[in-house]
Amino acid sequence: MSVNQSGWRPEMGDASQAAQTTFTGNRALMLEEALIFEIGSNETTGVDIDEAPKVASRLGSHARKGAIGLPGLSEPEAVRHYTRLSRQNYAIDLGLFPLGSCTMKHNPRLNERMARLPGFADLHPLGPVDTVQGALEVIHQLAHWLVTLTNMDSVAMSPKAGAHGELCGILAIKAALEKRGEGHRKVILVPESAHGTNPATAAFAGFTVKDIPATADGRVDTQALKDRLGPDVAGVMITNPNTCGLFERDLKEISDAVHAAGGYVYCDGANFNAIVGRVRPGDLGVDAMHINLHKTFSTPHGGGGPGSGPVVFSKALTPFAPLPFVEQQDGKFVLVEEETAGEHHADSFGRMVAFHGQMGMFTRALSYILSHGADGLKQVSEDAVLNANYILRSLDDTLDAPFGRSGPCMHEALFSDSNLAEGFSTLDVAKGLIDEGYHPMTVYFPLVVHGAMLVEPTETESKAALDQFIGALKSVGERAKAGDPALKSAPHFAPRRRLDETLAARKPVLAWKESVAPVAEAAE
Amino acid sequence: MSRFFTQEHEWIEVDGEVATVGITEYAAGQLGDIVFVDVPADGRELTKGDDAAVVESVKAASDVYTPASGVVIEGNAALTDNPALVNEDPEGGGWFFKLTLRDDSELGELMDEEKYAAYVARL
């Protein structure tokens, strides 16, 4: 017999004896990371730079006297710091990301490969047009797809994201009204269930916002909207599908009424993912709509980088669209700018950005569109709607679904906090979901529903992934209905316990100072 | 002195020509922890229904409408440093602004305490 000299003897031990804290504050591989200012030291540095040569300073009294106070870290320390922080992040590549109204879909790696092709990625925006024909063709082809999918007349590609697109659309409406000599139309009607950016955009462009109420089934009150129309109304801003996850069935009727009263219809296209290939906004009388390339055509939340919000225009608004745009002339692609717009675009309201828009996002969106094809895009919206309805119907016996009887939902399922135990709210459910390993859904929006929980699963998720999420939300929901006190202090397993949001808002610590002690976590 | 209420949950207390405006206990409770209040500047002319002040809780920012027309004579400076006063004493020390009334008759359109209590009970 040979003797086990290594001493290896598997044992389970008594788990109940485990220490609740560790020396380092780390929990196994979940590392407790200090701020970079707290780990750095002015004594160390990652790079050696030669002493600067003495030169006569011309800064006078502006010359810095003390040290700048940047933390000094070696390269491995800096790399580890940011890598550790990134591990505390939640991302679409880690799991289901149910943020309502954000369309957090998978970002196909093919897009990234296309966007990184040096012929696209390394271009300079001031490169001579002859040398960037391929890039201009991408913009032109993508523009064609967007105009076709929406049945609109033209598209401005340059707006940088959704709210920027809204501003673009509203400025075009303003220019059109002024051209008609009706600049006195100062009122924009916005339904209660609108995205918060809609009234902000209208106000920013100099309009007065008037709210239009919603009906009990979660849609715009068409009669109330019609009653408010008049010679002072510039237009309406309406989101379709709306933020209650419902299709605005009366949009055509609303558009006709608005047009008859001399106004224009702006449609917030943030939720376009639910209807691509099924509904063309141009058929519903829409005059302008932004398309979030970074939602509908992947790269959710801009992939942490820029978004992109092209705006499609009806025939009525096309002359007022901003510059520049790409045109094909004699087989070549050209950029139509102020100098070259000439008479056929003399009414343009100007330009929104210095260059031509987000080239990287154009490449990704076109890659997504071409790899899916027309039939694929249609299936995307069908699957997105199917997934949302699966969530709605699987949970409507646990959570209150205020518009559960308003017909099928579109891209997102909406719940309220109305049947939770006394003292329990949506926030507790959201924090409980963090313990279950999910990024919470959108909470307390839309405002028309008390304690709203807005879940948008997107087409990305498999049935197994949806079932696991439904199970988790059901479990947390049941705990909130039963009044489980442990839920009030959730999350218990996150890097931080529940934070005091009120204190953070009332006494925010916005800049690190050596003397400031870390803010205490809320009492358990 | 008499106190009136709006459907948007503002209260207005009238003392001769001067009136004090705030938000009701019900409104403060609905908003939750209030973290910021912006009151109108002295001398601002307000027409009934105008956005007069802004109140911000952790989750939402809301406009406060003036229940009556007039000229602002004082905003409650205490709210700048201590917005929590609106939660602690909404219908007293947590008042928002005072104004000189332009037209007493506007008050007739408002609810008295009893009517407001009944209105809130139905919500």
Task: Work out the angle at residue A507's Cα, subtended by the Cα atoms of residues A504 and A508, and round it to the nearest 5 degrees.
Answer: 60
User: What pLDDT was estimated at residue A342?
Assistant: 73
CATH of the domain at B43: 2.40.50.100
- Taking 70 as the threshold, does the pLDDT of residue A182 lie above it? yes
Is the Cβ pair A506, B83 closer than 8 Å? yes
Average pLDDT over residues B12-26: 94
| H helical segments located in A194-303 | 197-204, 222-228, 251-260, 293-296
**Percent above pLDDT 70 for chain A:** 96
Domain for residue B120, yes or no? no
DSSP string, A460-512: T--HHHHHHHHHHHHHHHHHHHHT-HHHHT--SSSSS----HHHHHHS---S-
Q: What is the DSSP letter of A287?
A: S
pLDDT tens per residue, range A38-48: 887 777 777 88
Beta bridge pairs of residue A211: A190
Average pLDDT over residues A421-448: 94
Q: What are phi and psi of A63, to 5 degrees?
A: -65, 135
Task: State the nearest Cα–Cα gap between A488 and chain B, in angstroms.
Answer: 16
Domains held by chain B: number: 1
Would the CB atoms of B35 and A444 count as touching at under 8 Å? no
Do the first three CATH levels of A109-367 and A377-501 match, i.e. the same topology? no
Q: Which amino acid is at A17?
A: Q
Shortest CA gap A442–chain B (Å): 12
Residue A136, H or E segment = helix A133-150
Higher-pLDDT residue of A399, A509: A399
Amino acid at A31: L
Chain B residues near residue A501 by CB distance under 8 angstroms: 33, 58
Orientation of helix A162-179 relative to helix A197-204, angle to 10°: 40
In chain A, which residue's Cα lies nearest the Cα of B36?
A: A506
How is residue A88 annotated by DSSP? T
Task: Return the number of other C-beta atoms located less than 10 Å from residue A75's C-beta.
Answer: 9
Chain A residues within an 8 Å CB radius of B36 = 505-506
Whole-angstrom Cα distance, residue A311 to residue A159? Answer: 7
Taking the C-alpha atoms of residue A147 and residue A150, their distance in angstroms, rounded to an integer, is 5
Q: Please check the confidence at residue A199 and state whether its pLDDT lies above 60.
A: yes
When pLDDT is averaged across residues A264-287 and rounded to a whole number, the result is 97
| Confidence label for A195 from pLDDT (cuts 50, 70 and 90) | confident
- Is residue A484 over pLDDT 50? yes
State yes or no: pLDDT of A522 exceeds 60.
Answer: no
Q: What are A379's two structure tokens?
A: 């299936």
Question: What is the extent of the structural domain holding B92?
Answer: 2-103
Nearest beta carbon to residue B35 from set A444, A447, A502: A502
B35 touches chain A (CB under 8 A): yes
Q: How far apart are CA A333 and CA A326, in angstroms?
A: 7
For chain A, domain boundaries: 109-367, 377-501
pLDDT of residue B114: 94
Residue A200 clears pLDDT 70, i.e. is over it: yes
Domain A377-501: assigned CATH number: 3.90.1150.10
Q: pTM (2 decimals)? A: 0.87
- Whether residue B33 is contained in a domain is answered as yes
With the C-alpha atoms ordered A284, A286, A292, A297, is the resulting torsion angle positive or negative?
positive
Mean pLDDT, residues A209-226 taken together? 94
Hunting for tokens 């605005």 — which residue is that? A248
- Min Cα distance A504 → chain B (Å) is 9
Tens of pLDDT, residue by residue over B59-113, are: 778 899 999 999 999 999 999 989 999 999 999 999 999 999 999 899 998 999 9
Q: How confident is the model at residue A353 (pLDDT cuts 50, 70, 90)?
A: very high
Q: Please, which pLDDT band fits residue A524 given cuts at 50, 70 and 90?
A: very low
pLDDT of residue A511: 83
- The answer, yes or no, to whether residue A17 has pLDDT greater than 80, is no
Mapping DSSP to helix (H, G, I), strand (E, B) and coil, where does residue A363 land? Answer: helix
B87 occurs within a structural domain: yes
Residue A506 confidence class, pLDDT cut points 50, 70, 90: confident
pLDDT for the residue A42: 72
What is the second-level CATH architecture of the domain A109-367? 3-Layer(aba) Sandwich (3.40)
Amino acid B38: pLDDT:
95
Note the pLDDT of residue A302: 66
DSSP tag of A317: T
By C-alpha distance, the chain B residue nearest A209 is B51
The answer to whether residue B88 sits within a structural domain is yes
Could B33 and A444 be called an inter-chain contact, meaning their C-beta atoms sit closer than 8 Å?
no
With a cut of 80, say whether residue A344 has pLDDT above it. no
Distance from CA of B30 to the nearest CA of A (A): 10
Residue A381 corresponds to which amino acid? Answer: S
Q: At how many degrees (to 10) do helices A463-482 and A359-395 cross?
A: 60
pLDDT at position A54 is 87
Contact criterion met (CB < 8 Å) for A505 and B36: yes
For chains A and B, what is the number of CB pairs under 8 angstroms? 18
A501 reaches B (C-beta below 8 A): yes
Asked if the C-beta of A507 comes within 8 angstroms of chain B's C-beta atoms, the answer is no
Does residue A520 have a pLDDT over 70? no
**Tens digits of per-residue pLDDT, A125-158?**
999 999 999 999 999 999 999 999 999 999 999 9
A339: helix, strand or coil: helix
Is A505 close to B35, i.e. CB distance below 8 A?
yes
Nearest to A231 by CA among A263, A207, A209, A191: A263
Mutation site for B-interface testing, chosen from A447, A506, A507 by largest number of B Cβ within 10 Å: A506
